[in-house]
Amino acid sequence: MSQSEGQSHTVVRCSRFWPIFLLFLLILSVAANVLLLAGFAGMRTLISSLGGSAGVRSVIVHHGGQDMVAIIPITGIIDGATVTEVVNDIRAVDNNTLIRAVVVRVDSPGGAVTDADEIYHNLMKLRTSGHPVVVSMGAMAASGGYYVSMAGERIFAEPTTVTGSIGVMLPGFQLTGLMKKLGVRPEFLTSSAATWKEAGSPFSTFTPAVKSYLQNLLNIDDARFESIVMQGRGKALKVPITTIANGKLWTAQEALSFGMVDRIGYIGAACHQAAKLAGIYNPTIVRLEHPIDVLSAIGVKTPVGRPVVEISPSTIYSLACPKFEYLAAP
């Protein structure tokens, strides 16, 4: 065989080798991604199983005696998911005879009227079951965050807490002017008797009659908020309710002077107060948590993923049909 023929055979072998090698790497990469995703899924299953049937797990904050004080967190915007988490936390407390008292850690600007009221209702049921409830406010416990705090027998605010924002609002958009510029005219068909069916829709006109109708609904929810504050604070409130129920945010020092909170102190002081109310000393303090969704936390969606923005029907509905909210909007 000549030198040129040997070189040609070498080139042919190389040309066959590289496609096979690249194919092998591709198969190996796909297999590795599949195993990685399977591992993440397994971790998620394991974490969920550790959380128990309600998906709640106890993380020890302070080792003490057998009796416990449990911390229930309420953070961020209050919505349906918050209600579910709090209800599961309360169920976990009821199912554990060693938990003698509860500290509700509130760090929230509020949220939907109904969701805040449902959380308040369930926390009050927890109190009637014999568990002292103490509230510890974080950076913000405003509007719906203050509403749910009214379930506390004692309320602690940190030195930098802002609270209050007592009131209700109906956020939304008025789009009729924009649609007119675009040459778009909305059409609503309702049953003959349902003349108020579209009131408040961003695609309809806010006439004086519509505004008056919606204002009355807002005032009803506002009156309930004020009554809950009066029940929760009772004689501790040092000023007329009209002084504080005007939508304003108050500093911790102002809230203390008004009687909106009982003390300025950190969560440790709140836990000590809860233990004292329960008649226990040196308790073990646990924080109730829900398992982390590992796949969501790291953003894994597909082996080769890219950010995907989805506009769901529920998102469109929430924009078109805004909710009444106990929400701070400074």
Closest C-alpha among 89, 101, 172, 170 to residue 132 = 101
Mean pLDDT of the chain: 78
Angle, helices 80-95/113-128, rounded to nearest 10 degrees: 10
Q: How far is CA 80 from the centre of its chain?
A: 8
Q: What angle do CA 279, 281, 287 make, to 5 degrees?
A: 95
Q: Is residue 104 within 8 Å of 123, Cβ to Cβ?
A: yes
Residue type present at position 58: S
Q: Which candidate in 136, 143, 149, 165 is catalytic?
A: 143
Q: Which tokens belong to 321?
A: 């049909």
> What pLDDT shows up at residue 81?
92
For the chain, the first-to-last Cα distance in angstroms comes to 87
Position 44 pLDDT exceeds 50: no
C-alpha distances in angstroms, 277 versus 133, 174, 266?
Answer: 9, 50, 17
Q: Which candidate in 8, 53, 180, 197 is catalytic?
A: 197
Q: 101-117 burial string, b = 16+ CB within 10 Å, else e?
A: bbbbbbbbbbbbbbbbb
Mean pLDDT is highest, among 121-130, 215-224, 302-311, for 121-130
Which pLDDT band holds residue 200 (cuts at 50, 70, 90)? low
Which pLDDT band holds residue 164 (cuts at 50, 70, 90)? very high
Position 11 pLDDT exceeds 60: no
Mean pLDDT is highest, among 31-40, 144-153, 294-303, for 144-153
> What pLDDT shows up at residue 14?
53
Q: Which tokens belong to 260?
A: 């909106």
Position 276 pLDDT exceeds 70: yes
Higher-pLDDT residue of 105 and 17 is 105
For the chain, what is the total number of helices (H) and then of strands (E)? 11, 11
Quick check: is 197 catalytic? yes
Dist CA 112 CA 321 (whole Å): 13
* 3-state SS assignment for residue 95: helix
Q: What angle do CA 266, 268, 269 make, to 5 degrees?
A: 70
> What pLDDT shows up at residue 208?
81
C-alpha distances in angstroms, 182 versus 8, 60, 175, 178, 186?
Answer: 69, 59, 11, 6, 12
Dist CA 127 CA 90 (whole Å): 10
Which pLDDT band holds residue 37 (cuts at 50, 70, 90)? very low
Closest C-alpha among 58, 51, 96, 89 to residue 73 = 89
Q: Is 107 left (phi over 0), alpha (psi -120 to 50) or beta?
A: beta
Mean pLDDT is highest, among 12-21, 198-207, 249-258, for 249-258
pTM of the model: 0.74
Classify residue 259 by its DSSP letter. Answer: T
What element of type H or E holds 115? Answer: helix 113-128
Place of tokens 């199983």: 49
pLDDT tens-digit map of 54-65: 578 888 899 989
Position 291 pLDDT exceeds 80: no
Which pLDDT band holds residue 70 (cuts at 50, 70, 90)? very high
Q: What residues does 141 pair with on adjacent strands?
A: 108, 163
Q: Is 165 left (phi over 0), alpha (psi -120 to 50) or beta?
A: left
Position 279 pLDDT exceeds 90: yes
Dist CA 195 CA 214 (whole Å): 14
* 3-state SS assignment for residue 66: coil
